[in-house]
Amino acid sequence: MKRACSPNTNTDENSTASSIRPFKTNYLRMKLLVIAFLLFVTLNVLGQDKKSLAPTPPMGWNSWDWFGKKEINEQNMKECIDAVVNEGLLDAGYKYFVIDGGWRDTKLGPNGELLAHPDKFPHGMKAMADYAHSKGLKFGLHTVPGTHDCGGDPVGGFGHEELQVKQFVDWGIDFIKLDKCKYADGWNEDLLKKTYLKWHNLLDNCGRDILLSISAYKWRDWYPEVGQMARTTGDIRARVSKGAVFDLIPLSVMGISDENNKSAEFAGNGYWNDPDMLALGNQGLSIEEQKSHFALWCIMSSPLILGNDPRIMSKEEKEIILNAVAIAVNQDPTEQGRRIKVKNGFEIWKKNLKNGKIAILVLNRVNTEKQKLILKLNELGIEGNYKITNIYTGENVRCNDGLVSIELVPHASLFMVIEK
């Protein structure tokens, strides 16, 4: 009896096993498809996150313009961190605190690792990053991709990129200013691009969101695919370089603006042209010149990286850099504003904003005389009835039949928002 039943039992088992095999195969296929789909989504999300590190122009503070390489140390950088927070700069959007050149030792470690200067930063840069983070700030550092920094110290990352990026991740760095400086055998354009692209790829895959700020002193067409912001000019004149200058030399406020304006069409979508830091405060510019300087950087959608001393800001200085409407113009991601008209010593800059609003900057570039101008809005493509607001005073600007009467002293400006 048992033998008679055995074949039937085995047949059932074989039948069951046969039905299970395709089920298992289909299950494994589905599982692999789900894993592949999740991996695809994850990689796309990571890519989007990297692209969205700077959906609007980055804002923050950098040590170079005021302190240079020699004057920074652990104590005064902590004081500046405290001031950025206590004076309301962080609340206004200035979230990146960046220590520029001068934090490193004059040599690399035995394996090519970066070393903090033992006297100026005895507790190292992780301690500085931790302090900034404890105050709600993001923390950045200056580093160089070649063989030497700009002062000639052999502290570059060339050949040590993986190790140095790992250090930045371990320290908790959020922002890297990658400054071209020097390569022992001399840079060429191909090597420069390959080197910056290597840093881009390493940072993109390092497991931490680190904004890449390219500093290579002129516009290049590969910048938007490699960094979130990139310098279009040399260093702006500031306290560290014998004082800020408004016009008449290449690295003045206006000289820098002229150059940055040339690449306006490429800004946006997570990349921003960088005309260097804001040389505000007691660095050589008058209050009217500082207002024009800030307005230009706002209308050009430039990164707002302060180069002042936040511990000793004047009332007028704070009113400029904390102006919420000016900052809103800057942070509007629609486009980089452009210079659209030059007439009798006046320059007119325009930026189209969201919701049909328009920002206009009228600037008297003449160096010696007060100038008058009748601004015709229809010549700027502005028709109909509009409300016009002076961004710095908050007052309405009178407009009669589409005409605005303007009178400005040398280097002064009228910064306006126009809305229906």
Q: Which of 235, 276, 309, 332 is catalytic?
A: 235
User: For the residues of 317-361, what is the DSSP string, one character each?
Assistant: HHHHHT-HHHHHHHH-TT---EEEEEETTEEEEEEE-GGG-EEEE
What pairs with residue 351 in β-bridges?
359
Reduced to 3 states, what is the DSSP secondary structure of residue 399? coil
For residues 155 and 105, the answer to whether their CB atoms sit within 8 Å is yes
Mark whether 179 is an active-site residue. yes
Q: Which of 179, 274, 309, 332 is catalytic?
A: 179
User: Within 10 Å of residue 258's Cβ, how many Cβ atoms?
Assistant: 16
Beta-carbon contacts of residue 155 (< 8 Å; ≥ 6 apart): 104, 105, 106, 107, 108, 114, 144, 148, 149
Beta-carbon contacts of residue 19 (< 8 Å; ≥ 6 apart): none
CA atoms within 13 A on the CB side of 164: 26
Nearest to 418 by CA among 341, 333, 325, 344: 325
- Distances in Å between the alpha carbon of 19 and those of 7, 9, 22, 26, 141? 18, 15, 6, 11, 62
Active site residue ranges: 179, 235
